[in-house]
Amino acid sequence: MLARSNSLNIDEFMQGLIKRNPDETEFHQAVEEVATSVIPYINENPKYIEHQILERLTEPDRTIIFRVCWEDDEGNIRTNRGYRVQFNNAIGPYKGGLRFHPSVNLSILKFLGFEQTFKNSLTTLPMGSGKGGADFNPKEKSEREVMRFCQAFMTELSKHIGEHRDVPAGDIGVGSREISFMFGKYKQLKNEFTGALTGKALEFGGSLIRKEATGYGCAYFMEEMLKHKGDTLDGKICLVSGSGNVAQFAAQKIIQLGGKVIAMSDTTGFVHDPDGLNEEKLEYIIELKTHPRGKLSEFADEYKCKFHKDKSPWSLKADLAFPCATQNEIDEADAKLLIKNGCIGISEGANMPSTKAAVEVFREAEILFGPSKAANAGGVAVSGLEMTQNSIRMAWHRDELEERLKKIMQSIHQQCINYGVEKDRIDYLKGANLAGFVKVANAMLAYGVI
């Protein structure tokens, strides 16, 4: 038998991972961030080394790749690539969103699925991790084309999912319209009505608060971080990137908690409103961004404020930043600018929106940094509550769900403190990674070698 080393080394571990998964840069980035936090802990607890827990955690249970063929409005046959990465089901059925975007590839879905393992563990709910999607762009398509694509996609995906096996949800490019088309097809193919997808409309098994949950949770997480330092959101100047599902409801809750949102963005640039958004202006943005999607420059024209084409909002002076658009949208230079301009806190609504170098800048500056796996876990948490409601065939009230969401975000914050307390501050990144890791790792230990 080969002698196994009794300690893990981050560089050697990453070299092996990169060799096994060449060219998957986003996946490497996500793993390195977690491994940096958990390897010192693993080295103090050799049972995790003996059972190769980190090696097993970084290898998806399975990866399904399939052809999706559909017909466009002109009668042309179109082909896309569909994916489902079933990452880890140690603590519950695979759970994670579907993304439809031209940039979708295996690296991005593996990074998202891997992150989901820790995020879902933090929610306190019994959910494993997965992620999927296709390199399909719903933006340029007619309603009928989107429907035909979703149905073709589900024809294959339906073979691999189910309420006890794998429960996908939405993500970028997959909103309630796409979920509805896919759920309809699933129901038809299986001839049964089960909660195999979340993010459904209220009429057929959806949950109240689901569409608000990720954004609300992201604002609540910031509220908790500030509260722990004896501070509040009241009067704080806030930057929100994106203007999609997460950004809209992060902005709404920030405003409700007393913050002043002076910027939002989209793929064409950002809008700067020094007076701050109110409910009416935000409603305009939500309407504008509900299909067919408008551009934020229309908001700037309507409310006579400045639109900065092809720019992100990170150069503005603000107290708090909420990146809610996409991965790696804050780089090192942006991070330095935010700090220079007096930013004291980041709550990540998008998945991995800060590059590795940007995260380093935030940590060195010792500002409050709520990493995505903790700060945006509210969405999947309410998805978990949607699964529960489907199982018991009940629909909970809005107030009850919002209260549960708030409690879950508080519990995630507390877990970050439990595992991330340092001499004079909380290391939220380390806390989230470790708290998420321990639960899944212990479940894997209990199962033995499988």
Q: Tell me the number of residues near ligand NDP by CB under 6 A.
A: 27
Q: Which residues contact 354 (CB under 8 A, 6 or more apart)?
A: 323, 328, 329, 330, 335, 346, 348, 362
- Check the CA dihedral 430-86-54-335 and report its sign: negative
- The distance of closest approach from Cβ of residue 423 to ligand NDP in the complex, given in angstroms and rounded to an integer, is 32
How many CB atoms within 10 Å of residue 377?
A: 30
Residue 265 interacts with ligand NDP (CB under 6 A)?
yes
Residue 266 interacts with ligand NDP (CB under 6 A)?
yes
Residue 107 interacts with ligand NDP (CB under 6 A)?
no
User: Residues 370-399: x/- map of binding to ligand NDP (CB under 6 A)?
Assistant: ------x--x--------------------
Considering only the stretches 33-41, 221-229, 345-353, 413-421, report the one whose residues sit in contact with ligand NDP under the rule CB under 6 A: 345-353
Query: Is 131 part of the annotated catalytic residue set?
Result: yes
Considering only the stretches 23-31, 334-342, 348-356, 408-416, report the one whose residues sit in contact with ligand NDP under the rule CB under 6 A: 348-356
Question: 113, 242, 384, 431: which one contacts ligand NDP (CB under 6 A)?
Answer: 242
Among all residues, whose Cβ is closest to ligand NDP?
244
Three-class SS of residue 310? coil
Residue 300 interacts with ligand NDP (CB under 6 A)?
no
Enter the tokens of residue 397.
């009230």
Residue 217 interacts with ligand NDP (CB under 6 A)?
no
- What residue spans of 290-346 are helical by DSSP H? 296-303, 332-340
Enter the tokens of residue 293.
């999607």
Closest to 111 measured CA to CA, from 346, 374, 330, 352: 352
User: What does the alpha-carbon distance between residue 175 and residue 177 come to, in Å, rounded to a whole number?
Assistant: 6
- The distance of closest approach from Cβ of residue 302 to ligand NDP in the complex, given in angstroms and rounded to an integer, is 16
Q: Are 398 and 208 contacting, i.e. CB atoms less than 8 angstroms apart?
A: yes
Catalytic residue among 131, 187, 281, 289: 131
Angular region, 221: left φ>0, alpha ψ -120 to 50, beta rest: alpha
Question: 245, 315, 347, 389: which one contacts ligand NDP (CB under 6 A)?
Answer: 245
Question: 349, 370, 371, 384: which one contacts ligand NDP (CB under 6 A)?
Answer: 349
Three-class SS of residue 194? coil
| Catalytic positions | 131
Give the binding site for ligand NDP (CB under 6 A).
Answer: 170-173, 214, 242-247, 265-268, 289, 293, 324-327, 329, 349-351, 376, 379
